[in-house]
Each structure stands twice: as structure tokens, then as C-alpha cells.
Amino acid sequence: MPLGDRRPGIILPGGVDMALAQRLAQEAEAAGAEAVWIPDVRREPYLLSAAALSSTAKIDVGTNVAVAFARSPALTAQAAWDLNHWSGGRFILGLGSQVKGTLERRFGVSAAHPGPMLRDYVSAVRACFAAYREGRGSYSGEHFQITQPVFMPGADSSWPEPPIYIAGVNPEMTSIAGECADGFAAHMFLTERYLEEVIDPALAAGAAKAGRPKPAVLISLLVAPSRDMLARQMTAYAVPGYRRVL
């Protein structure tokens, strides 16, 4: 799988607070990183994104990835829209469906059909962006309906639209990313073989179905000072949803 242009960045640790996110993002920019990525683990990822954006001037900041179904499409759209405008177009909205157990235990929500739901979710977010830009609009999809995304009159006609990345592991979600996303966030445990034999063909198939170019791919690498620490990191992913890539 050809990697194309490479833009180095870092993923912040899951337990950082806003002050540490500011400092690490600033240090990353000074060291030459071109992006800082925010996980949705312990803290609110959009607040952490705001912190990282506030202490930097040039690099992109994005969620890698925010759990989509934990928040309504309108809430996600508003956060991404405002962050991108406030930062001068430096925010990237990365979304993922998350596994069933985490959705239910951590967020108290369920998603019986995560693939079609995420496709509809992204369409709803983009419809909200269009409504914010035009000052009016609505969305009616299979899973989400938003009749009044613009609650206060006014149009943000010149505001830039944030790019949307989708995370995935299985071919179905990867194909959906090819259909509707600006980028695909690959799981950090994906092997080169899995990328070449599963991810790349699924992305290409989804893009061809929608008649659009194949999206960019964000590849993450897990770095640890020892194999023991790496093994401890990997135990968190010993669930059926990730088994195919381990």
C-alpha cells in the first residue's frame, strides 16, 4: 500500500488534562510535528482539542478518534465547526463507532448497526455544517433526524468546513470511510499485510462506489520503552472487535 505524502504527528496520552495537552501540543509543534491527535479515553476530546489549538499556531489538531454515538450528530458538528473556525481551519474531526461493550458500559448507549449508523451520522454532521453556513437547513436520514440545526438566526457563510476522518477495523466500516470520509484512521495495531490485503481494497471499493477519490490514510504507531509495557498496552484491545488485527 503506497503511503504517499507523510505528515508526522503525535497522539496525546489518554489521561492528559487540558494544561498538559497545551504543553505537549506546543512541544510537538516546536519539534516539527505537523499534527496532534486527541484520543477519546479519559477526558473530553473536544475540550482537549481546544487546549491543544490554543497553544499552537500552525499544526493541525484532530480527534483520533471521538466516539461518535456518545454524542448527537448536531453536538459533534457544532463542536467541530466552532473549533475549526476558531483555529483558522486547523481542526480535523475524527470519528469512530467504538465496540459494543464500551458504548454500553461507558456511555450507556447502543448501536445495533454501527456501519450504516456511522454513514448516516457523517451525513447528518455534514448537513449541519451546510446549515450553519447557509443559516438554515435540516436533515432526515435513516437513523438521525435534525429539523432545526440552526437555533439562533444567522449564517456563518465564510467559515471553513472541517475534514472528517473515520476509524475502522473491519472491511465494512473501512468501505464506508471510502464512501464518505476525507480520511481513514487506521488502528495502531494494523499490520502492513492487513493494510494491503484488507484496508486498501475496502477503501478503494467504497470510494469507487461513491465515485470519489480514495481518502487519505492516517497510520498510528504504538511506541513503548519495553516489550512488557507494550504487551500491557495491547491487553486493553483483547476483545472480539479487534481480534482480527492482533
In CATH, what number is assigned to the domain containing residue 143?
A: 3.20.20.30
Q: Give CA–CA dist 148/196, Å, rounded.
A: 43
| pLDDT at residue 234 is higher than 70 | no
Number of domains in the chain: 1
**pLDDT tens sequence across 20-47:** 999 999 999 999 999 999 999 999 999 9
Whether residue 143 contacts residue 120, with contact meaning beta carbons closer than 8 Å, is answered with yes
| Residue 165 maps to a domain | yes
| Residue 110 maps to a domain | yes
- CB environment 32-57: b (16+ within 10 A), e (fewer): ebebbbbbbeebebbebbbbbbebbe
Percent of the chain residues topping a pLDDT of 90: 76
Question: How many other C-beta atoms are found inside a 10 Å radius of the C-beta of residue 205?
Answer: 16
pLDDT at 217: 94
Tell me whether strands 145-146 and 139-140 are parallel, antiparallel or unpaired.
antiparallel
* pTM for the model: 0.91
Mean pLDDT of the chain: 91
Distances (CA, A) of 228 to 64, 161, 182, 224, 245: 25, 42, 36, 9, 19
| Residue 3 maps to a domain | no
| Residue 224 maps to a domain | yes
Identify residue 239 by its one-letter amino acid code.
V
Q: How many helices (H) and strands (E) does the chain have?
A: 10, 10
| Residue 189 maps to a domain | yes
| Residue 2 maps to a domain | no
| Residue 143 maps to a domain | yes
Range of the domain at 22: 9-243
pLDDT at 110: 87
Grid coordinates belonging to 14? 489518554
| Residue 1 maps to a domain | no
